[in-house]
Amino acid sequence: MKALKVSDEIESYCGKCKMTLAHSIVALVDGAPAKVRCLTCFSDHKPRKEPGTAATKTKKKKSTTSTKSSPWQEQMRMWSVEKATPYTISKTYSVDEFINHKKFGKGIVTRIPSPEKIIALFESGEKMLLQGHVKR
Ligand SMILES: [Zn+2]
């Protein structure tokens, strides 16, 4: 495998052309294409796979689809008071850590956008919270 570089051609799905077409890489992040340009309509966008390609096989899924649970409910199956950390502004957290927030309740850390911030998923949705905040 050779490393990708800017201006290399890759195949990506174009939302404007509504099909998978040749694109040239406009920007790379960590060696992976972050932005591509459609060589057909010349629009820039994130590289993506053609939507619905997995559906072409039409797998039989009947019983499990009726009871849809939210991503939060999925995560909360694993949640327990013993494993959860009470949320306080001064602590630091890691991704997938269970937290217990006074106001929002049970949650899980989904992303850490910066050393001072975490994004956690609560029943009411994703919230950005501060972490590692030391009072001076
Ligand atoms: Zn296009």
Which amino acid would we find at residue 21?
A: L
- Residues with Cβ within 8 Å of residue 17, at least 6 apart in sequence: 38, 40, 41
CA 4 to centroid of ligand 1, rounded, Å = 21
- pTM score: 0.49
25: nearest Cα among 41, 40, 7: 7
Give residue for tokens 């390609």. 53
| 116 CA from centroid of ligand 1 (Å) | 39
Tell me the per-residue pLDDT of 107-133, one tens digit each, with 9 for 90 and over: 999 999 999 999 999 999 999 999 998
Distance (angstroms) between ligand 1 centre and the Cα of 47 equals 11
pLDDT tens, 43-56? 999 999 888 755 54
The Cα–Cα gap between 39 and 30 comes to 23
